Amino acid sequence: MKDLKTPGRPWTSSPSARALGALVAVLLLGALFNAEGAFFKWGTHRDMLRAVSVFGILACGMTGVIISGGIDLSVGSILALASVTFSLLTIHWHWAAPWAVLACLGVGMACGLCSGALVAKAKMQPFIATLAMMVFARGLAKWVTGGEKISQAVKQSDGTFAYVDLPPLFKWIDSRILYDNISVVTLVFLTCLLLCWVLLNKLRAGRYIYAVGGNEEAARLSGVPVGLIRIVTYGVSGLCCAVAGMCQACQEYQGDPEAGAGYELSAIAMVVIGGTSLNGGKGSIWLTLIGVLTIGYLDKILSINAVGEDKRLMLTGIIVVAAVLLQKSRR
């Protein structure tokens, strides 16, 4: 967050400071409406982190896509596809966990690369290309499963159900470690965050992602392989979807072809609330972390105060607008 130190400009104009401002406001709200002290218990925060992790993993991949000037609407569907693939391979076909994980990552990445190729090579608009992938991947997930959820109950040829054991990986990912203090999915999320940070801030490819988002033509004329970079960002997003899909399957003990509907919008909202510009070229993975936490806490605070889902959704909508307006007004 080196922006904080940029000389000659008030610190309030730095994107990270503004994003942090929104998060702090939400935390203050939590301290105020603490539901008789529930907000001050670590368990609340741990559960919030667990609930937000799957979205956070999607948001990691989404950040790269958005910085490169694109958008990925297919993340929810690819999540579902990965989740049913993982369940099918491990629960029904009894694949060993490492192979199943690799296969899922392959499926997710293939979907992402496909969207990327449509954008970069066929010159389709990202919105259209990923919309097509969103529909296609959802269909594929339903076709693979025959429209059924993939769970421990395996349908036999005579129409009855037999129950099989859940592979240990499911239970482990759904568990908490470090004396019950943090969920494994949260650690998976943090790992994704770290890897994306390395990609965006430490690798040459990351610099190119920013350059392509900032000014595609100038980047191309400077020798940046624009098409390849675009494909890579969608590929990474696909990988993140696969990871999120597997986590989702483990948390639900099943692979649901209907899972993840609408998740793409949550992931985009998290990235944008952090302050990453939809115009591309600006933003960072840490801003996304702040966005993820802001939405996560908001949801948690409303739920511990027993605000009904109807009001929760309305309030979330209002607060998303407020946060974005806040960032705009000081620009």
CB of 213 to another protein, least distance (A): 7
Q: Tell whether residue 210 is a contact of another protein (CB under 8 A).
A: yes
Distance CA 173, CA 170 (A): 5
Considering only CA atoms, give the Rg of the chain.
20
User: Does residue 219 touch another protein according to CB under 8 A?
Assistant: yes
H or E element that contains 137: helix 126-145
Footprint of another protein on 247-306 (CB under 8 A): 280-282
Nearest distance from C-beta of residue 275 to another protein, angstroms: 13
Footprint of another protein on residues 1-40 (CB under 8 A)?
2, 6-8
Amino acid identity at 203: L
For the bound state, the minimum distance from the C-beta of residue 323 to another protein, rounded and expressed in Å, comes to 21
DSSP characters for 215-267? -HHHHHHTT--HHHHHHHHHHHHHHHHHHHHHHHHHHHTSB-TTTTTTHHHHH
For position 208 contacting another protein by CB under 8 A, the verdict is yes
Q: Does 235 bind another protein (CB under 8 A)?
A: no
Do residues 103 and 82 lie in contact, with contact meaning Cβ atoms separated by under 8 Å? no
Supply the minimum distance, in Å, between the C-beta of residue 199 and another protein.
Answer: 10
Q: Which residue has the tokens 């948001």?
A: 59
Eight-state DSSP code of residue 189? H
Phi, psi of 260 (to 5 degrees): 75, 10
Choose which of 92, 142, 176, 220 interacts with another protein (CB under 8 A).
220
Question: Which CB atom, from 257 or from 274, has the smaller least distance to another protein?
Answer: 274
Q: Which is nearer to another protein, 6 or 175 (CB)?
A: 6
Q: Which residues bind another protein (CB under 8 A)?
A: 2, 6-8, 202-208, 210-211, 213-215, 217-225, 280-282
